């Protein structure tokens, strides 16, 4: 997991303005609940890998009633914000927040029933190794659950989005669905399934662009200045185009660690 692509405090404030307390992407607690649709977490130990500002960690504890959630992130500033949110919601006894570095996870093998990742693997170049590490920390029969940005088509819309990110010094490693699934399976996970959420996130992006031009305009200009606002608006517009013009795909996914009797290693 890369230690790059960190947001400064001002950017974090703006993201929360757009997406809600504790979140750096659209959908909020409702999207977390949808990702875990049909899963009972009441007796589950969950790893929120790349927990960011803690919004999903809290949603897993309060809305989905997970037994315990460990939030892991490489950004100390994000974890400070997550700690504040966890404390405010009274969840300290059921949450553990861990700061780490890119590379092997600082957890024993077979520590978790579920690993949750949201837009994390797009920061990782060695995808199979990333999923193998997730497999290691999952218990036999445990499940990887999450969502990710994928390449729908390497067209002008996608290249515009990818070029914009690179111009701003951000290193993403977007892959298409087939490459993503192959990497999950190469990491030793099985029963990979995906649910296309592109239509919903295209609408999220359209509404965000509209709000940027209307109700959020003055607050964003106050925070970012005119040039900063223009750059932010371009970010919103180009991502919307990438989704609406068929370059970018947003997908929920699940995959399982084989039961121990069918696996040669942990």
Is 242 within a domain? no
Is 227 within a domain? no
What are 172-213's pLDDT values in tens digits? 999 999 999 999 999 999 999 999 999 999 999 999 999 999
CA distances from 33 to 63, 65, 143, 202, 208 (A): 8, 11, 15, 19, 21
DSSP-based three-state secondary structure for 68? strand
| pTM more than 0.85 | yes
Is 96 within a domain? yes
What are 211-249's pLDDT values in tens digits? 999 999 999 999 889 998 999 899 999 999 999 999 999
- The C-alpha atoms of residue 196 and residue 26 are separated, in whole angstroms, by 15
Structural domains counted in the chain:
1
Is 230 within a domain? no
Q: How many CA atoms lie within 13 A of 263 on its CB side?
A: 19
**Domain residue limits at 33:** 9-150+171-198+248-258
- Using the predicted structure, report yes or no on whether residue 14 has a pLDDT greater than 70: yes
Q: What average pLDDT does the segment 6-19 reach?
A: 72
Is 14 within a domain? yes
Q: CATH code at 50?
A: 3.40.50.150
Is 238 within a domain? no
């Amino acid at each position: 997991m890369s230690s790059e692509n960190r947001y400064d405090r001002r950017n974090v404030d703006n993201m929360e303005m757009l997406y809600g307390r504790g979140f750096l992407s659209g959908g909020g607690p409702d999207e977390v609940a949808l990702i875990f649709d049909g899963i009972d977490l009441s007796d589950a130990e969950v790893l929120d890998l790349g927990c960011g500002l803690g919004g999903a960690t809290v949603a897993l504890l309060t809305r989905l009633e997970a037994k315990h959630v460990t939030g892991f992130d490489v950004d100390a500033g994000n974890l400070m914000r997550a700690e504040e949110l966890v404390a405010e919601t009274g969840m300290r006894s059921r949450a553990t927040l861990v700061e780490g570095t890119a590379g092997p996870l600082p957890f024993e093998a077979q520590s978790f029933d579920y690993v949750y990742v949201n837009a994390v693997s797009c920061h990782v170049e060695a995808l199979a190794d990333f999923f193998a590490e997730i497999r290691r920390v999952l218990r036999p029969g445990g499940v990887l659950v999450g969502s990710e940005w994928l390449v729908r088509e390497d067209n002008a819309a996608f290249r515009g989005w990818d070029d914009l990110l690179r111009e701003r010094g951000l290193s993403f490693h977007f892959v298409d669905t087939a490459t993503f699934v192959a990497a999950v399976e190469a990491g030793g996970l099985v029963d990979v399934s995906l649910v296309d959420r592109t239509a919903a996130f295209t609408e999220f992006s359209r509404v965000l662009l509209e709000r940027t031009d209307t109700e959020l305009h003055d607050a964003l200009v106050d925070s970012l200045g005119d040039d900063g606002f223009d750059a932010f608006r371009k970010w919103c517009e180009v991502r919307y185009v990438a989704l609406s013009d068929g370059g970018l795909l947003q997908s929920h996914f699940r995959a399982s660690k084989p039961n121990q009797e069918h696996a040669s290693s942990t």
